[in-house]
């Protein structure tokens, strides 16, 4: 009969075993290329639909095509922050190192999408509103989201103790998540220049089906890209965090031998 002490020392079984960085590291390496390939394929399809198949808008002309980049980027900037907050909450409650690493791996990609959303929105706003920037409720709250991303990245990098950095970043991610619904509902709560949502769960989309298809494909491409990049970044963070462990030394030796064999 197995003693209680030995039973407690057993490694988790099933999917729970991937909560350990040592187990998740090879899985992330296997999955990342597949998500990257899907991202590339979907991007090609989405851009082809948006720039070649979708008709010209009768009001805005050709300039509206920026939505095939702007809208998916804006969606992803909000969604990634919510996922960061989720992993931060899991890390605080379950005290799992990998959860904090996942949150930190997502932050640079979320910041990139937030910047792209603001930049493409400015390009769209000039011919539409006559100005690159206005202190509109949605634009201002979106800019605040970018600062939250920068603040999260800076905070987790500035604190030398990884445990303290993890918890400080997690608290900031959870507090900053309040800004996401403000961004989404700002056009309903306040009188803003920004147009309302073109896609809603409660009513039919206010655009042609081919336009909607292109935008959704591009959104899916952005999601696949985010997963691929996050998985690669997680691997790098795991190696950095676990660099003093025996298993990381074995991984680096194996990779060095593989690289030497390829040469």
Please state, in angstroms and rounded to a whole number, the distance separating the CA atoms of residues 44 and 144. 31
Q: How many CB atoms lie within 10 A of CB 126?
A: 13
pLDDT value, residue 23: 87
- Residue range 2-7: mean pLDDT, rounded: 42
Report the Cα 140 to chain-centroid distance in Å: 20
Question: pLDDT tens digits for 151-179?
Answer: 999 999 999 999 999 999 999 999 999 99
Please state, in angstroms and rounded to a whole number, the distance separating the CA atoms of residues 104 and 7. 33
Tell me the average pLDDT of the chain: 84
- Residue range 221-226: mean pLDDT, rounded: 97
User: Cβ(43)–Cβ(216) under 8 Å?
Assistant: no
* Axis crossing angle, helix 97-129 with helix 21-48, rounded to the nearest 10: 20
pLDDT value, residue 202: 46
pLDDT value, residue 250: 74
Least confident window among 113-117, 181-185, 233-237: 181-185
Least confident window among 61-75, 98-112, 198-212: 198-212
Range 210-244 burial, b when 16+ CB lie within 10 A, else e: ebbbbbbbbbbbbbbbbbbbbbbbbbebbbebbee
User: Cβ(114)–Cβ(149) under 8 Å?
Assistant: yes
User: Cβ(117)–Cβ(142) under 8 Å?
Assistant: yes
* Total-model pTM: 0.85
User: Cβ(76)–Cβ(222) under 8 Å?
Assistant: yes
* Axis crossing angle, helix 67-94 with helix 179-189, rounded to the nearest 10: 140
User: Cβ(88)–Cβ(99) under 8 Å?
Assistant: yes
* Helix, coil or strand: residue 132: coil
Please state, in angstroms and rounded to a whole number, the distance separating the CA atoms of residues 109 and 237. 15
Binned at pLDDT 50, 70 and 90, residue 14 comes out as low
pLDDT value, residue 260: 65
Question: pLDDT tens digits for 125-142?
Answer: 777 777 777 888 888 999
């Amino acid at each position: 009969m197995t003693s209680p002490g030995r039973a407690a020392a057993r490694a988790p079984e099933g999917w729970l075993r991937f909560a350990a960085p040592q187990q998740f590291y090879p899985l992330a390496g296997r999955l990342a290329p597949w998500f990257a390939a899907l991202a590339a394929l979907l991007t090609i399809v989405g851009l082809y639909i948006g720039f070649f198949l979708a008709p010209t808008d009768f009001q805005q002309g050709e300039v509206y095509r920026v939505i095939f980049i702007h809208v998916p980027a804006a969606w992803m900037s909000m969604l990634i922050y919510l996922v960061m907050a989720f992993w931060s909450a899991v890390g605080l409650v379950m005290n799992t190192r990998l959860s904090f690493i996942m949150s930190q791996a997502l932050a640079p990609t979320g910041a990139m999408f937030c910047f792209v959303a603001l930049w493409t929105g400015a390009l769209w706003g000039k011919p539409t509103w006559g100005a690159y920037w206005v202190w509109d409720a949605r634009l201002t709250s979106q800019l605040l989201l970018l600062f939250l991303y920068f603040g999260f990245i800076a905070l987790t990098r500035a604190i030398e103790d990884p445990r303290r950095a993890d918890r400080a970043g997690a608290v900031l991610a959870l507090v900053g998540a309040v800004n996401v619904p403000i961004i989404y509902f700002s056009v309903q709560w306040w009188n803003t220049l920004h147009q309302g949502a073109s896609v809603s769960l409660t009513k039919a989309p206010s655009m042609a089906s081919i336009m909607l298809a292109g935008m959704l494909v591009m959104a899916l491409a952005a999601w696949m890209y985010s997963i691929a990049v996050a998985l690669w970044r997680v691997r790098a963070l795991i190696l950095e965090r676990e660099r003093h462990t025996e298993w990381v030394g074995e991984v680096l030796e194996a990779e060095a031998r593989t690289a030497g064999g390829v040469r």
